Chain A
Amino acid sequence: MTAAESPRGGAVVKRRTATGSAANWIDERTSISGLVKELGRKIFPDHWSFMLGEVALYSFIVILLTGTFLTFFFQASMAEVTYDGTYLPLKGIDMSAAMNSTLHISFDIRGGLLMRQIHHWAALLFVASIGLHMLRIFFTGAFRKPRELNWFIGFILFVLAMAEGFTGYSLPDDLLSGNGLRIIDGLVKGIPVIGTWISYLLFGGEFPGTAIVGRLYTLHILLLPAILVAALGVHLVLLVINKHTQFAGPGKTNDNVVGVPIMPVFAAKAGGFFFIVFGVITLMASLFTINPIWLYGPYDPSPISAGTQPDWYIGFADGALRLVPHGLGFLIGPFTFSLNVFLPVVVLGLFIVIVAIYPFIEGWVTGDKREHHIADRPRNAPTRTAIGAAGVTFYAVLWAAASSDLIATHFGLSIEGVITSLQILLILGPIIAYLVTKRVCLALQKKDREIALHGYESGRIVRLPGGEYIEVHEQLSDYERWRLVSFEDYKPVMLRPDANGRISVGQRARARFSNWFFEDRIQPVSQTELEAAHGHGHAAIEAADSHAAVEGGH
């Protein structure tokens, strides 16, 4: 770039400005200009759903900032102290130093309650936005090659976020979180063979002991965040390497990225969005109380309040514990196999393992080794979308079950009736969701095909010279139509014998799976079909239009 081409730019380079000197100083020591050159004008596609991951990232930054503030005041100790702070109802009550310092943060430090509430709200939003982000990735097929690994890393991040949430939730050592820990203790003890010892080592003796808060604190502020930050780094590096997916649109192909450059538009939007996310969380923390531990009181193994709820993201696990059928479990020799506790652990374990490896399952079924950078519209992958809907339903039923008692009391139902209904729904719900979703997707695909080929009904009726009445169909523009016709097509793989004339079990399984995935399919509109339809359609409309024009002229 010369001064002649760009007088202003050239002038900046020549005159030694302060920023120019600073940039020069840094570059001569880091060669950072290379990085700026590589990434500065990198293109990011734009779509509202791409913000969900950003919300997760920004709420995590908010969590780090406020969490650091809280560590300056929080005491991760279960040593017994007597409360002597501002909150009168608890004055003189014995509690752990952890609970005492949490009350101190809330009521004796200006802005302390705000920081606590921002931290808690941001944590709830963090897990929620990761969940929605994962659903977006799933339903648009953005996990396909080359992004399977990044899906898995994202899944790890989701698990870490929940672990961070639970460890943080337990730190204040209040009645609610203590009962949560007690449930975890019961859950751990139910693990066959090693459960008793894991619980004993985890709590540093018998429950609750005096060690658990300190240990959870180490996990919460050191180990888990370290792993989380590392995994997040890899997640973002892979995002840059793989480049972002984009939705189908005119001009967009599998080989390009269409969007805005990092500098300046994306940086302004993303940077601004960070402040918006931070601002909205702060607004929530200013207006709405979250986790009022002063109402629960310090932990004591004997009392409990009815209608207690875990934080939302633990709900599905709590619900699973509630939905276990009556009386499961047996003895193996002298040993107790507590199926009523272990079964939900196994079922949830299987569920999340399937979530974690889904990209590899679908990759194996399709055998598709191509890279995919165009995000699917969910309707164009009916079986995947239906599987997703079934998974969401399964999760939703478990989640609802965590509030079974509140559902019963609020709607005046019997708790037995609610639980039994949810047990039935847990099995039937996903099946119904699968079938309905698949049919809806296929129907939407048919509608798209119809509109692409024949346009949409305009509601304008005209009479032809022969007396025939027809409705005029409006055609889409080529640009609008492209969105409806540009999707990947798959069909079941054929069973073919290998060189030795044999068909392996794996091949049979794959053929069966791919048949399940793709036996119901709507083909994308082809160019020939389009031309044929339009040759015919255009003629009719033009005739109708010219006739209408003539009639109007009379």
Chain B
Amino acid sequence: MAQHDDGVTTPEGDAVHEGTPTGTALQVSSAAESDPGAGVVHSDRVVNPGFPPHNPRQTDLDPVKDRRAEKQVAFLFFLSIVGSILALAAYIAFPILPNDFGSIRTNNLLLGLGITLGLLGIGLGAVHWAKQLMREDESVEMRHGTRGTEATREKAVEVFTLGNEESGIGRRTLIRNSLIGALVLTPVPAVALFRGLAPDADPVKLMQHTMWKAGTRLTHDPTGVPIKASDVTLGSAFHVIPEGLLQREDMLEQKAKAAVLVMRLQPQDLHVTKGRETWNYNGIIAYSKICTHVGCPVALYEQQTHHLLCPCHQSEFDITHEAKVIFGPARRPLPQLPITVDSEGYLIARSDFREPVGPDFWEREV
């Protein structure tokens, strides 16, 4: 048998180490070269007692147990065969029936259990075989230092030296430097190509506006039915989208900015700052539904406390104080949509939001 120089032996064997003289010689040379740093090398270490005596298994000692283990392994492989057949049978016998949701569950369950049996039978059988019947005493292999031998390393250095000499890359600096310059610049056009990932527009301008305009009616989300001011009773909250959103080609992009929550409070409960006196209509107020933290819909309204809660990261906004942040990671209040009513009594926007909605971005205040 051809021996690799690792010289595999059993612990009981006399640790033959073909190829290199002895294991200890190698150990000493590598230890001597490496700096232990903060490591302390004790000369008085406890001596390694060597390999313990081998304990044979039941299957090694008792032919009956050996035979039983053999049968167990074969049985597990047989179970695997049964499992695979059952899986096939389940595939055929339990199809998905139209309008029968239960048939999907049955198909998934039985097909899955069949395949499971097919897989586990092989797996458990193989492991049982290895643990009970295959030769189990441990073998030993010697390690070498990971670094190449001195001779190999010298050869490698020689390769690079020859490469340098024969090409002259170290000597001909003009060639070398111009090559480096050329290589540095080649990826630049590739980077430029990535501009094409998005259309030719300025994202900052897009993010500063929504679909809301003076006169846009507030409509129910998702039906698009306009909302009369008289429908908004005290204490109620409406999920709102702008009229005309459902007909837009870019419906989702517009909705992601324009979604609004409308609530009605007692007008005396609202703390209105200067300049916003006309933004509510008889205590009906509209705020952007897009969280100023990272953009989740702020969809939870606590009627009693007049707080809005973002279900993603738990920012809380106080509606009585113009959606001021009272808890959580958000930094800014929810933008308010100025609203009023039209001649037919429907709620309409007075204008777009006066600031960009949604999460912070670098050019937000520009």
- Residues of chain B lying within 8 A (CB to CB) of residue A370: 30-31, 34-36, 39
**B51, A250: Cβ atoms closer than 8 Å:** yes
- Residues of chain A lying within 8 A (CB to CB) of residue B290: 301
In the docked arrangement, what's the CA distance between A46 and B137, Å?
A: 12
Contact with A along B321-359 (1 / 0, CB 8 A): 000010111110000000000000000000000000011
- Residues of chain B lying within 8 A (CB to CB) of residue A185: 294-295, 359
- Residues of chain A lying within 8 A (CB to CB) of residue B222: 300, 302
In the docked arrangement, what's the CA distance between A421 and B111, Å?
A: 47
Tell yes or no: B139 within 8 A of A by CB: yes
CB within 8 Å of B: which of A251-284? 251-261, 264-265, 268-269, 271-280, 282-283
Please tell me the size bucket of the interface on A: 35 or more
Tell yes or no: A17 within 8 A of B by CB: no
Closest A-chain residue to B27, C-beta based? Answer: A255
Chain B nearest Cβ from A117, distance in angstroms: 7
**B48, A482: Cβ atoms closer than 8 Å:** yes
Q: A1-B1, A326-B329, A514-B38 are in contact. Are A338 and B256 (CB under 8 A)?
A: no
**B362, A183: Cβ atoms closer than 8 Å:** no
Among candidates B104, B145, B293, B311, residue contacting A305 with C-beta atoms closer than 8 Å: B311
Q: A113-B108, A204-B197, A524-B42 are in contact. Are A253 and B115 (CB under 8 A)?
A: no
**B11, A113: Cβ atoms closer than 8 Å:** no
**B119, A195: Cβ atoms closer than 8 Å:** no
**B293, A341: Cβ atoms closer than 8 Å:** yes
**A208, B4: Cβ atoms closer than 8 Å:** no
**B123, A336: Cβ atoms closer than 8 Å:** no
**B362, A336: Cβ atoms closer than 8 Å:** yes
Tell yes or no: B248 within 8 A of A by CB: no
**A251, B199: Cβ atoms closer than 8 Å:** no
Contact with B along A476-500 (1 / 0, CB 8 A): 0011011001101111110000000
Instruction: List the one stretch of A152-160, A186-194, A347-355, A543-551 in contact with chain B.
Output: A186-194
**B46, A525: Cβ atoms closer than 8 Å:** yes
Tell yes or no: B124 within 8 A of A by CB: yes
Tell yes or no: A164 within 8 A of B by CB: no
In the docked arrangement, what's the CA distance between A323 and B359, Å?
A: 17
Closest A-chain residue to B51, C-beta based? Answer: A251
Chain B nearest Cβ from A186, distance in angstroms: 3
The interface on chain B, measured as residues whose beta carbon lies within 8 A of the other chain's beta carbons, has a size of 117
In the docked arrangement, what's the CA distance between A37 and B36, Å?
A: 35
Compute the total of residue contacts between A and B using a CB distance below 8 Å.
Answer: 401
Tell yes or no: A457 within 8 A of B by CB: no
Q: A42-B141, A206-B203, A283-B113 are in contact. Are A340 and B256 (CB under 8 A)?
A: no
**B46, A341: Cβ atoms closer than 8 Å:** no
Tell yes or no: B243 within 8 A of A by CB: no
In the docked arrangement, what's the CA distance between A478 and B47, Å?
A: 9
Tell yes or no: A110 within 8 A of B by CB: yes
**B138, A326: Cβ atoms closer than 8 Å:** no
- Residues of chain B lying within 8 A (CB to CB) of residue A321: 293-294, 313, 329
Contact with A along B100-134 (1 / 0, CB 8 A): 01001001110111011111101111110111001
Tell yes or no: A130 within 8 A of B by CB: no
Tell yes or no: A83 within 8 A of B by CB: no
Closest A-chain residue to B15, C-beta based? Answer: A256
- Residues of chain A lying within 8 A (CB to CB) of residue B365: 331, 334-336
In the docked arrangement, what's the CA distance between A273 and B131, Å?
A: 12
Q: A37-B4, A201-B194, A526-B44 are in contact. Are A336 and B325 (CB under 8 A)?
A: no
Among candidates A146, A204, A265, A279, residue contacting B123 with C-beta atoms closer than 8 Å: A279
The 5 closest A-B pairs by CB, nearest first: A286-B112, A186-B294, A367-B37, A272-B126, A275-B123
A selection of 10 A-B contacts at a CB cut-off of 8 Å is A111-B111, A186-B296, A201-B195, A204-B197, A252-B48, A271-B126, A302-B241, A486-B45, A492-B38, A526-B44
Q: A194-B362, A370-B30 are in contact. List 17 more A-B contacts (CB 8 A).
A: A1-B1, A114-B111, A202-B197, A251-B51, A260-B138, A268-B127, A268-B130, A272-B126, A283-B116, A304-B311, A306-B300, A325-B329, A338-B331, A370-B35, A405-B314, A488-B39, A526-B42
